[in-house]
Structure 1
Amino acid sequence: MKVAYVTADDTVSRHDDERETALAAWLGAGIEGAPVNWRDPRADWSEFDAVVVRSAWDYIERRDEFVAWAHRVERVTRLFNPAAVLEWNTDKTYLRALGVPTVPTFWPEPGAGLPEWDEYVVKPAVSAGARDTTRTADRDAAAAHVARLLDEGRTVMVQPYLPSVELEGELSLLYFGGRFSHAVRRHPMLSGVEATAENRATLRDPDDDQFALAERVLAAVPPDLLYARVDLVRMPDGEPVLMEVELTEPYLFLRDELAAPDLFAEALAEALKAG
Structure 2
Amino acid sequence: MTICAYVTFDDRDDHDDERELVLGAWRAAGIEGKAVSWDDPEIDWSVFDAAVIRSVWDYVGRRTEFVGWAHRAASVTKLLNPAAVIESNTDKTYLRELGVPIVPTHWSSSDLPRWDEYVVKPAISAGARDTIRTIDRAAAEAHAARLESEGRTPMVQPYLDMVETEGETSLLYFNRTFSHAVRRNAMLAPGQTLADNARAELRTPAPDQFELAEKVLAEIGGDLLYARVDLVRLADGSPALIELELTEPYLFLRYSEGAADRLARALGQLL
Q: State the TM-score, normalizing by the size of structure 2.
A: 0.96
The answer on 1:164 being equivalent to 2:162 is yes
Which residue does 1:174 correspond to in 2? 172
Unaligned runs of 5+ in 2: none
Are the counterparts in 1 of residues 198 and 252 from structure 2 also a CA contact under 8 Å? no
CA separation in 1, counterparts of 2:84 and 2:14? 27
Are the counterparts in 1 of residues 11 and 36 from structure 2 also a CA contact under 8 Å? no
2:255 is paired with a residue whose SS is: coil
After TM superposition, give the deviation of residue 3 of structure 1 in Å.
Answer: 0.2
Are the counterparts in 2 of residues 187 and 199 from structure 1 also a CA contact under 8 Å? no
* Counterpart selection for 2:128 from 119, 127, 130: 130
The answer on 1:9 being equivalent to 2:10 is yes
2:241 is paired with a residue whose SS is: strand
Which residue does 2:80 correspond to in 1? 80
After TM superposition, give the deviation of residue 222 of structure 1 in Å.
Answer: 2.1
Are the counterparts in 1 of residues 186 and 197 from structure 2 also a CA contact under 8 Å? no
Which residue does 1:43 correspond to in 2? 43
CA separation in 2, counterparts of 1:255 and 1:186? 14
Amino acid at match of 1:103: V
Amino acid at match of 2:4: V
Which residue does 1:271 correspond to in 2? 270
Give the aligned length.
Answer: 269
1:1-20: CA deviations, max 9, x gaps? 00000000268x63210100
Which residue does 1:247 correspond to in 2? 246
2:88 is paired with a residue whose SS is: helix
After TM superposition, give the deviation of residue 183 of structure 1 in Å.
Answer: 0.2
1:35 is paired with a residue whose SS is: strand
CA separation in 2, counterparts of 1:127 and 1:142? 17
1:255 is paired with a residue whose SS is: helix
Query: Residues 199 and 93 (structure 1 numbering): CA distance in 2 closer, same or farther, change over 3 Å?
Result: closer
Are the counterparts in 2 of residues 120 and 137 from structure 1 also a CA contact under 8 Å? yes
CA separation in 2, counterparts of 1:197 and 1:238? 25
Are the counterparts in 1 of residues 175 and 224 from structure 2 also a CA contact under 8 Å? yes
1:104-128: CA deviations, max 9, x gaps? 000115xx22110000010111111
CA separation in 2, counterparts of 1:197 and 1:217? 26
Unaligned runs of 5+ in 1: none
CA separation in 1, counterparts of 2:186 and 2:32? 35
Query: Residues 193 and 10 (structure 1 numbering): CA distance in 2 closer, same or farther, change over 3 Å?
Result: farther
Amino acid at match of 1:24: G
Which residue does 2:54 correspond to in 1? 54
After TM superposition, give the deviation of residue 200 of structure 1 in Å.
Answer: 1.5
2:34 is paired with a residue whose SS is: strand
Which residue does 2:25 correspond to in 1? 25
CA separation in 2, counterparts of 1:240 and 1:225? 23
Are the counterparts in 2 of residues 108 and 157 from structure 1 also a CA contact under 8 Å? yes
After TM superposition, give the deviation of residue 192 of structure 1 in Å.
Answer: 2.1
Q: Map of 1:75-154 to 2, 5 A cutoff?
A: 75-108=75-108, 112-154=110-152
Q: State the TM-score, normalizing by the size of structure 1.
A: 0.95
CA separation in 1, counterparts of 2:71 and 2:14? 26
After TM superposition, give the deviation of residue 197 of structure 1 in Å.
Answer: 6.3
CA separation in 1, counterparts of 2:197 and 2:243? 24
Which residue does 2:230 correspond to in 1? 231
Farther-moved stretch of structure 1 (227-236 vs 217-226): 217-226
Root-mean-square deviation over aligned CA pairs = 1.4
CA separation in 1, counterparts of 2:210 and 2:268? 26
Which residue does 1:185 correspond to in 2? 183
CA separation in 2, counterparts of 1:76 and 1:198? 35
Q: Map of 1:58-69 to 2, 5 A cutoff?
A: 58-69=58-69
Amino acid at match of 1:4: A
CA separation in 2, counterparts of 1:146 and 1:70? 29
CA separation in 2, counterparts of 1:235 and 1:123? 19
